Structure 1
Amino acid sequence: MRSRFLFAMLAVLPLAAFAAPVAAKSEKRPNFLVIVADDLGYSDIGAFGGEIDTPNLDALAKKGVKLTAFHTAPTCSPTRSMLLSGTDNHLAGVGAMAELIAPNQRGKPGFEGYLRPNVASLAELLGANGYRTLLSGKWHLGLTPDQDPHARGFQRSFTLLQGGHNHFGLATSNALIKGTTYRENGDTLPGVPQDFYSSDYFATKLVQYLDETKQGVDGAKPFFAYLAFTAPHWPLQAPKADIERYRGRYDAGFEVLRARRLKRQVELGLIDADTAAHAPVLKKDWDALSVEEKKTAARDMEIYAAMVDRLDKNVGRVIAELKRTDEYDNTVILFLADNGAEGLDIAHSEMAGINTLDDGADNSFDNRGSATSYVAYGPGWAQAATAPSWLFKAYATEGGTRTVAFVGGKDFKRSGGLGGAFTSVADVVPTFLELAGVPDHKGQFQGRAVEPIRGKSWVPYLKGKTDRVYATGDTIGTELFGSRALRQGDWKITDPGTGAWQLFNIAEDPGETRDLAKDNPERLAELTAGWDVYAKEVGIIIPSVKIYQP
């Protein structure tokens, strides 16, 4: 069986290949803007079936290519490691999130919990080839100075080091393990402004960096900008006026919302009318909730919607800056969520550590969404957002790894339509390098050996020259917290964490509703063998204990 993970001897590129821009001087190289939303559901924005007010994202999606089969890792930092390295998260050092490494994984290669030095980051690669490199937002790829974004190729950076924070800036700390730490250009900040709100401030800092660097000595250079929002990741917090605009919108419940979004996805052509949706996994149906529980659940979704709304407005501010500076028409814009919607129910979680997150918070109804509250919205709303897919964040099912994404800004032949071919977050590095005219580093960068790029460029696909990004014989695996999957062509084996494989034809059954393992033993054996090859190549260690299964 073919495997894209088997590599021949790699030729060493001369260092000079990364010393200067390699594109033809007469050709203006594109800017790149990557926008990441944290825990955003697949159908949350209007262009993908949602009812939340997201006109700026919708306009970008309409103009670009909707990547309807885009896949990430099941959670945030593994995805971010793949986004910036172009390789598997286990090889990039984030085989598990730093906070959730199992005892049998600690100290093992690939489970460092930060972006390893033996990968070349996209910022390093583009920066070495004449790009301005800018970051504003969440990092979650290392805490020490040598792991800071400023040390990994970003020339200007304002960053939250950890994976989450109070969106209004409370509890800033230099305690790297338990605190909330912000750095700018490698320097730890004592705090954030009193009027801090995460989405607002991250956008403000990126606009500042875009303007300042354009006015500076490197102003003629193209830019790579990375805007990494922490919204709508819990704790759900938003300005009160934003929340009030959604009052009453979700009183009918998460099952009604799920049905409405599925209907809208059909109308938009995102799914076929006969697509079977996976049944949601719930402890209680909406009708089984008490009046008070329904009231509280609806409010939590109102807060969540307000966070997404606010994120969209800040995307609009960045787009306005690009247009003001005449950079917009030459900017490739990629938008994605880092994983499926978050189904965690903090208030009722049985996981140690998780069920104490809201200790000391004021989660009374009138205070929910404020800086002193600490809530998440739970599996009901999450599965309204991931439908028709199975489950949500933290699982290697489609609901955990198929995320909203679109790319635009160039005159791609597929612009204005759907891109239904399987694509991976690991593809971003080779895609951007090809568009920038920068060669694949082939395992060598600035005198050091680095992990080869495993993703594939989308450029031929976006230009309409091919119908697939991956060949039907290529295998693409993923694993996190013991939940596993492997894709080959239209087929996929999935283990949600039980240790048992299920087999699905994703082209015919994107919701993973019909296990075909018993009817196709040869196909199951083929993909299982592919998994074994993949797992050995990337160094997977299945955790000895259940670390994170919402």
Structure 2
Amino acid sequence: MSLLSQPYSHAASIEKDSRPNIVLIVADDMGYSDLSAFGSEIQTPNLDAIAKAGVTFSNYHTAPTCSPTRSMLMSGTDNHIAGVGTMAELVLPEQAGKRGYEGYLTDRVVAFPKLLQANGYRTMMVGKWHLGKTPELGPKARGFDQSLALLEGSADHFTQGGTTDRNPTASYRLNGESFALPKDFGYSSDYFTRTAIQQIGAASDKPFFAYLAYTAPHWPLQVPTAYLERYRGLYDKGYASIAEARLKRMKEKGLVAQDVQINPGPGVWPSWEKLSPRERALESRRMEVYAAMITNLDDNVGKLVKHLKDTGQYDNTVFVFFSDNGAEGSNPEDVTPNNAKWIAENFDNSLDNIGKPGSFSGYGPNWARVSSTPFRMYKAFTYEGGIRTAAFIAGPGMRHGEVSDAYLSVKDLAPTFLELARVEHPSTRDTRVEKMQGTSALSFLKAASTAIHPEDQMQCTELFGRVSLLQGKWKMTFSNTPWGPGKWELFDIRKDPTERTDLADQNPQVTLTLLTQWQECQARNGITWDEQLATKIRFGNEIKHYETVD
């Protein structure tokens, strides 16, 4: 047994294993305001019930995109430390071969499921992995007893099709072995849930950790027939009407302050009023399907909860839910130079076919901004719309029925899970293992403390050359034009969570202090950065959504 996989725990002394089960549910590319618990018109009663039974976190943060977030989740540390300083699909020539930019979860860090597995937990996962495609980098090697894993970042929801011309077939592994989806597997979220329920099975004398990494509502926008009409006509009102209604409900729920206003966006896309009738019809249909994907996911969570209740496992289960990043506003046609041609040649995106098998579309930047209500921008950006996501935690002995604005990071989940399981991280004994940067939230969850992080603790995030620096009430961020000014901005994030008013010029000393902190963050995490980096990434910079709607 390697040093990385040796158990370091007091769990062996536990005579009767009363430690809780842990269910971790991750949605893919779902926006902050897309659950009814977070103000949405999209109905998600099962997720809402879990949120109501626990703590809803209004100030939860991730990385701007999927695999960096997942590396932070598994390791409890910065994505560069974990090896995913950028996505494997988007490594620039100047990043290739550099430490921290491997594009997969490296063995410098220990994935927390490995520690749970070594200390008495049954471990299982279904859905999106996206942390390495070779066997030694897959879920089985990272501590999962059972796994049904999609190795890439996305896939068709009805077939084993991939999502780019470079990867037309998706790769799955079942318990570490290459696996072809059965012809009748149905729909992604349904299949993943059925598999997870089979993995969990009946009550056992050992606790379990179950990771459900859904691929919904990530494009392609597709949903089972029974859901196609669920939201028909609801989005004919247009972007602004839906967003304002969401904001009103968010204020009623205490998720945002009463004076919060929606960020107006970069001003590069047409308003609803400027769209042609055909464009409006296409836009409405896309959002209808997107909403239906979320309701389908929620229905599947309901099936999982029912199984746990029916088998007597529910009462001793901790539930954690979050979205891996903000809503996806980029066009799937932009992912590669030839993807638009590949999609046109292989899929039918006519109005009547959107959402059905054989279709392939995203819902575009303006609906992504609605999903991000009230925040600025969306996935791939370090503005709040890209990195603040819906999250909640519920379990026995924990706070319940609360909405908290305590800062919580995806990096905090691994240490929280380890403390729940009474498992020690190996970095306390082995200096070759990277330490976790996150902080356990368990004391807060049990109402033994009022905060998770010290007030003045620096939180830094970088991806694709875009940066977020958060310390106390101050947030400094960098983004390229036209999404940002191409220079550092400073916001009072408590008074201005939607990042509307740049205070950098009025607060030069604060700006200077945070820039010094940024240099320390770069050195600590091995970040290679310059002000032109964000302009070199295709993803999130080429937005052709409204050039292709007709």
1:384 to 370, 373, 396: 370
* Aligned twin of 2:194: 204
Q: Is the 8 A contact 1:243 1:305 kept in 2?
A: no
How many residues align? The count is 528
Q: Is the 8 A contact 2:61 2:410 kept in 1?
A: yes
Q: Percent identity?
A: 45
User: So what's the TM-score if we normalise by structure 1?
Assistant: 0.92
Mapping for residues 397-408 of structure 1, pairs under 5 Å: 397-408=383-394
* Aligned twin of 2:206: 221
Q: Is the 8 A contact 2:228 2:292 kept in 1?
A: yes
* Aligned twin of 1:269: 254
Alpha-carbon offset, residue 434 of structure 1: 1.1
CA distance in 1, matches of 2:6, 2:233: 61
2:516 to 503, 523, 529: 529
Letter in 2 for 1:228: A
* Aligned twin of 1:74: 64
1:149 to 118, 129, 139: 139
SS of alignment partner, residue 254 of structure 2: coil
* Aligned twin of 2:149: 159
Alpha-carbon offset, residue 192 of structure 1: 2.9
- Shift in CA distance, 120/378, structure 1 to aligned 2, threshold 3 Å: same
SS of alignment partner, residue 287 of structure 2: helix
- What are the Cα deviations for residues 474-516 of structure 1, in whole angstroms up to 9, with x where unaligned? 1111111111111111211011235411011111111111111
* Aligned twin of 2:410: 425
CA distance in 2, matches of 1:17, 1:314: 34
* Aligned twin of 2:285: 299
Alpha-carbon offset, residue 27 of structure 1: 6.3
CA distance in 1, matches of 2:162, 2:195: 18
Deviation larger for 236-245 or 23-32: 23-32
Q: Is the 8 A contact 2:10 2:423 kept in 1?
A: no
Q: Is the 8 A contact 1:41 1:382 kept in 2?
A: yes
The answer for unaligned runs of 5 or more in structure 1 is 1-12
SS of alignment partner, residue 532 of structure 1: helix
CA distance in 2, matches of 1:515, 1:433: 39
2:122 to 126, 132, 138: 132
Mapping for residues 22-41 of structure 1, pairs under 5 Å: 22=12, 24-25=14-15, 28-41=18-31
Q: Is the 8 A contact 1:255 1:380 kept in 2?
A: no
1:547 to 528, 538, 542: 538
Q: Is the 8 A contact 1:460 1:466 kept in 2?
A: yes
CA distance in 1, matches of 2:322, 2:13: 27
Alpha-carbon offset, residue 177 of structure 1: 5.3
- Residues 1:439 and 2:439 are matched in the alignment: no
Letter in 1 for 2:137: Q
Q: Is the 8 A contact 2:71 2:79 kept in 1?
A: yes
Deviation larger for 392-401 or 455-464: 455-464
Alpha-carbon offset, residue 171 of structure 1: 2.6
Alpha-carbon offset, residue 16 of structure 1: 7.1
CA distance in 2, matches of 1:357, 1:396: 30
The answer for unaligned runs of 5 or more in structure 2 is 542-550
Alpha-carbon offset, residue 194 of structure 1: 2.2
- Residues 1:519 and 2:510 are matched in the alignment: no
* Aligned twin of 1:456: 439
SS of alignment partner, residue 25 of structure 2: strand
Alpha-carbon offset, residue 450 of structure 1: 1.8
* Aligned twin of 1:65: 55
* Aligned twin of 1:474: 457
SS of alignment partner, residue 115 of structure 2: helix
Mapping for residues 484-499 of structure 1, pairs under 5 Å: 484-498=467-481, 499=486
* Aligned twin of 1:503: 490
CA distance in 2, matches of 1:98, 1:297: 31
CA distance in 1, matches of 2:162, 2:335: 27
SS of alignment partner, residue 228 of structure 2: helix
- Shift in CA distance, 421/172, structure 1 to aligned 2, threshold 3 Å: closer
- Residues 1:240 and 2:225 are matched in the alignment: yes
CA-based RMSD of the aligned residues comes to 2.1
- Shift in CA distance, 356/129, structure 1 to aligned 2, threshold 3 Å: farther
Deviation larger for 279-288 or 290-299: 279-288
- Residues 1:362 and 2:348 are matched in the alignment: yes
CA distance in 2, matches of 1:193, 1:211: 24
SS of alignment partner, residue 511 of structure 1: coil
Letter in 2 for 1:110: G
CA distance in 2, matches of 1:387, 1:357: 32
Q: Is the 8 A contact 1:94 1:110 kept in 2?
A: yes
CA distance in 2, matches of 1:232, 1:23: 43
CA distance in 2, matches of 1:139, 1:370: 25
CA distance in 2, matches of 1:176, 1:121: 29
SS of alignment partner, residue 244 of structure 1: coil
Q: Is the 8 A contact 2:90 2:537 kept in 1?
A: no
Alpha-carbon offset, residue 350 of structure 1: 9.2
Alpha-carbon offset, residue 459 of structure 1: 1.4
* Aligned twin of 1:255: 240
* Aligned twin of 2:108: 118
1:43 to 33, 38, 62: 33
CA distance in 2, matches of 1:165, 1:194: 16
CA distance in 2, matches of 1:339, 1:269: 22
Deviation larger for 374-383 or 350-359: 350-359
2:310 to 299, 305, 324: 324
Alpha-carbon offset, residue 178 of structure 1: 5.2
User: So what's the TM-score if we normalise by structure 2?
Assistant: 0.92
* Aligned twin of 2:547: none
Alpha-carbon offset, residue 546 of structure 1: 2.5
- Shift in CA distance, 453/23, structure 1 to aligned 2, threshold 3 Å: farther
Deviation larger for 492-501 or 393-402: 492-501
